[in-house]
Structure 1
């Protein structure tokens, strides 16, 4: 028998203390909170990898192969022109911040030169199939890059003129600074900054990202 009020007011456990009934809305909220807490416990379980820094990229459990769309810079009508490329890179960790692999892939794509189809559209470059293996070493520390080439003089002629060196550097700088996060770059040839810039009849220097790049 119910005393005072309707059957929906609650029930009386032993001792006479009333326990409020839980509404359907309250039950739904309780179930939702339980699901969130359970998901949090699973995500924080021991031994689990940290969340990836990039979507679709797993934690540091071995090299990850990625296909990345980039741009390299060639020349058309005596002016720089950007050309799309797709490169495949192998990332050792889960961050590109200190890994030169993408910059190295971009420079290797540049060193391979334009395709026949691009040449038919008037795109030219000092780089070609003959220069495809010129990239010797690429390093990246923070936002500072270093690019070391093999002997350029033996395979790339006519660069020492003012117009030639301008276009050559435009292709290099356009490709390097076409990637985000790089503020400065030092070019070398066989490990020497002096040798690289002497090839262009200039003095050793560090190139900084242009304001409009």
Structure 2
């Protein structure tokens, strides 16, 4: 898979992680917690894999902070594994998990927004380049057509003037080699 697909998969996994996080804290189902952990592991693995591309995409991104958020989120999930869902201490962990999860999802969404912005700029640049070349080719074709038109009109005007001179009897004598002179004499007689 290329970067775009993995980046989309990263965002999808983070969103699924957040969905199962919400479901677990609402209903305390063990299956939701297992799915939460699975999506967290997938998200973290994709983050580690894509970290160099994230830095290239936007050097201002705080990748180290996100790495710490993933570590803290994982530690809190591990702490949550050993707790009873009805324990009062779970509310503090829940709040911290939600905060870290929110930071992670904001990061994933900001990456997709940045990618979309860059892609839109590439498309806009390609469109402008295409318009420039099409305008250039149109002007080139128009100039060629105008030149051809002027050449044609000039030739037709010259032909018309010469035909009028011939019809009025004011034609110029053409220098003809002696071997073709009899053709001209024959043409004049007819």
Q: TM-score under structure 1 normalisation?
A: 0.23
- Say which structure is richer in helix: 2
Larger Rg: 2
Q: TM-score under structure 2 normalisation?
A: 0.25
